[in-house]
Structure 1
Amino acid sequence: MKSVLLHIHDDRGAESRLQAACDIARASDGHIHCVQVTMLPDFVAADMYGGASLAPAMIDELRAIDEKVRARTEERLQREGVSWDWRQVDGDIVRGLLSAAKLSDVIVATLPEGTRKDFSDPMPICADLALAGRTPVMAVPQSARALMAAGRALVAWDGSQEAAAALRAAVPLLKLAQEVHVVTVEEAGKYPFPATDAPEYLARHGIATQLHTWPQDGRTVAEALMAAIRVLKPDWMVMGAYGHSRLREYVFGGVTRTILHEVRVPVLLAH
Structure 2
Amino acid sequence: MFKRIAVHLDDDAACTRRVRAAAQVARDHQAALVGIYTSYLPPQYAYDEGIVPDDVYAVLQRRLTDNRKAAHGLLLQAAREVDVPVQWRAPEGSPAEALARHARTCDLLVLGQSGEDDPESVVTPYFTESIIMTLGRPVLIIPTGGDLPPLGRNVMFCWDQGREAARTLADSDPVLRRAAEVLVLSVTSRPVTPANRDDLHDYFAAHGYPAPQRVLRDGHQNEVGRIILECADERGSDLLIMGAYGHHRLREWVMGGACSAVLRATTVPVLLSH
1:26–1:184 CA distance, 2 compared to 1 (3 A):
same
Indicate yes or no: 2:19 matched with 1:18: yes
Supply the AA of the counterpart residue of 1:157.
W
Per-residue CA deviation, residues 196-248 of structure 1 (Å, 9 max, x unaligned), is 433322221100233323231678233333332232221001000015355xx
Higher share of residues assigned helix: 2
Q: Deviations over 1:78-136 (max 9, x none)?
A: 233221111110111111111001221110000148x7153259766321111112011
> RMSD of the TM alignment (CA)?
2.9
Contact 2:10 2:121 in 1 (8 A): no
**What is the aligned counterpart of 2:248 among 236, 239, 244?**
244
Where structure 2 has 5 or more consecutive residues not aligned to the other structure, the ranges are: none
Match of 2:72 among 64, 70, 75: 70
Q: Secondary structure at the match of 1:67?
A: helix
Give the structure 1 partner of residue 203 of structure 2.
201
Displacement after TM superposition at 1:257 (Å): 1.3
Corresponding residue for residue 34 of structure 1 = 35
Runs of 4+ aligned structure 1 residues displaced above 4 Å come to 120-124, 190-193, 249-253
Residue type matched to 1:231 in 2? E
Q: 1:183 pairs with 163, 170, 185, which one? A: 185
1:269 aligns with 2:272: yes
- State the partner residue of 2:235: 232
**Greater alpha carbon shift after TM alignment, 259-268 vs 217-226:** 217-226
Partner of 2:257: 254
Matches within 5 A, 1:86-125: 86-112=88-114, 116-119=117-120, 125=127
Q: Distance in 2 between matches of 1:31 and 1:49?
A: 45
Match of 1:172 among 167, 171, 174: 174
| Separation in structure 2 between the aligned mates of residue 69 and residue 143 of structure 1, nearest angstrom | 21
CA distance in 2, matches of 1:147, 1:33: 22
SS state of the match for residue 106, structure 2? coil
SS of residue matched to 2:91? strand
- Flag the 1:144–1:19 CA change in 2: closer, same or farther, 3 A: farther
How many angstroms apart in 1 are the aligned matches of 2:48 and 2:127? 33
Deviations 1:23-50 (A, max 9, x none): 1111111111111112222x33444333
> Residue type matched to 1:74 in 2?
L
Q: SS state of the match for residue 173, structure 1? A: helix
Give yes or no for contact 2:33–2:79 (8 Å, CA) kept in 1: no
Q: Contact between 1:112 and 1:121, CA under 8 Å: does it hold in 2?
A: no
Whole-Å Cα distance in 1 between the matches of residues 254 and 5 of structure 2? Answer: 25
Q: Cα distance 1:252–1:127, how it changes in 2: closer, same or farther (>3 A)?
A: farther
Aligned to 1:130: 132
Aligned partner of residue 175 in structure 1, secondary structure: helix
| Structure-2 change in CA distance of 1:93 and 1:182 (3 Å) | same
Residue identity opposite 1:230 in structure 2: D
Aligned amino acid, residue 229 of structure 2: M
- Residue 260 of structure 1 and its aligned partner are, at CA, apart by 2.0
Distance 1:185 1:233, change over 3 A: same
> Alignment identity in percent?
24
Equivalent-residue separation in structure 1 for 2:204 and 2:254 (angstroms): 30
Q: Name stretches of at least 5 consecutive residues in structure 1 with no aligned partner.
A: none
- Which residue of structure 2 aligns with residue 5 of structure 1? 6
Moved more, 103-112 or 216-225: 216-225
What letter corresponds to residue 33 of structure 1 in structure 2? Answer: V
TM-score, length basis structure 2: 0.85
Q: 2:232 touches 2:240 (CA, 8 Å); kept in 1?
A: no
